[in-house]
Amino acid sequence: MNLINTFFNLKVFLESLPQLLWGLVVTLEIGIVSIVAGLIGGLILAVARLYSPTFIKVLIRSYIDVFRSIPLLVLLIVVYYALPFVGIRLSPFLSAVTALSLVSAAYTAEIFRAGIEAIPHGQFEASAALGLSNRHTMVDVILPQAIRIVIPPLTNNCINVLKDTALASVVAMPDLLKQATQAQALAANPTPLIGAAVIYILLLWPMVAVVSRLEKHFSRGKR
């Protein structure tokens, strides 16, 4: 009984629920903006890496490697606490979105690169032989096929970005986790934390299930 009162206290849960739901909205805002920015950035990086002069290629390669190596929490703290010293003052929301997008773009670029490289060379040759420009080759021939291949790893990356939004709580962003810790302090009871955990799981479980389905589907449907 004591355990239930401590971790699954219905009264505390109901009182904290509106606050948790507000946190969820913030979490979704950060997540969605970062995912979209990361996708666009990653696609641009991947295609630019294919067609740029060597110097730019090296630059893109370094970007990708650096942002895949740096721990997200470290990057977030650098963006929020260090950049103000050089006059760049970002709000907690922008700091979170910037850090998440920079890292997500690096991972997304690698995913797109793998997808583009998986397309048989003959597709590029057939496009070239027909006189298609690089742009049309990408847009009409390569990307439609590559995107099919990269949907499962991209969805996986989206899940990671959504999970990592919880780190935004360290820069005072009132996201789901931050709201839960505040509600917990207020009620002197950890039920809101459990509530937040459950909300994260309810949000992400369907996406995880979709990824497994997609992975199975694509591994079977491949000709």
Partner 1 sequence: MTAQTKNIISVRGLVKAYGTFTVLHGIDLDIAEGEVVCVIGPSGSGKSTLIRCINHLEAFSPESTITVDGIRVQQGAALAKVRAEVGMVFQSFNLFPHMTVLKNVMLAPMRVRQTPEADAARKARELLARVGISEQAEKYPGQLSGGQQQRVAIARALAMEPRVLLFDEPTSALDPEMVGEVLDVMRHLAGTGVTMVVVTHEMGFARQVADRVIFMDGGKLIEMGTPTEIFDNPREERTRSFLRAVLNH
Using DSSP's 3-state secondary structure scheme, residue 123 falls into: helix
CA distance 204 to 41: 23
User: Of 50-58, 103-111, 129-137, 178-186, which part binds partner 1 (CB under 8 A)?
Assistant: 129-137
CA distance 39 to 22: 26
Could you tell me if 46 and 116 are in contact, meaning their C-beta atoms sit under 8 angstroms apart?
yes
Burial class (CB in 10 A: 0-12, 13-18, 19+), 3: exposed
- Residue (6 or 133) nearer to partner 1, CB: 133
Biggest distance spanned by C-alpha atoms of the chain: 75
Q: Is 223 in the site for partner 1 (CB under 8 A)?
A: yes
- Residue (117 or 140) nearer to partner 1, CB: 140
Q: Is 1 in the site for partner 1 (CB under 8 A)?
A: no
- The DSSP H or E segment spanning 66 is helix 54-69
User: Of 56-64, 83-91, 93-101, 130-138, which part binds partner 1 (CB under 8 A)?
Assistant: 130-138
Structure tokens belonging to residue 44? 């641009």
Give the one residue of 52, 145, 160, 181 binding partner 1; rule: CB under 8 A. Answer: 145
Give the one residue of 3, 86, 129, 188 binding partner 1; rule: CB under 8 A. Answer: 129
Give the one residue of 122, 188, 206, 219 binding partner 1; rule: CB under 8 A. Answer: 122
Where does this chain bind partner 1 (CB under 8 A)?
120, 122-123, 125-126, 128-133, 136, 140-141, 144-145, 148, 223
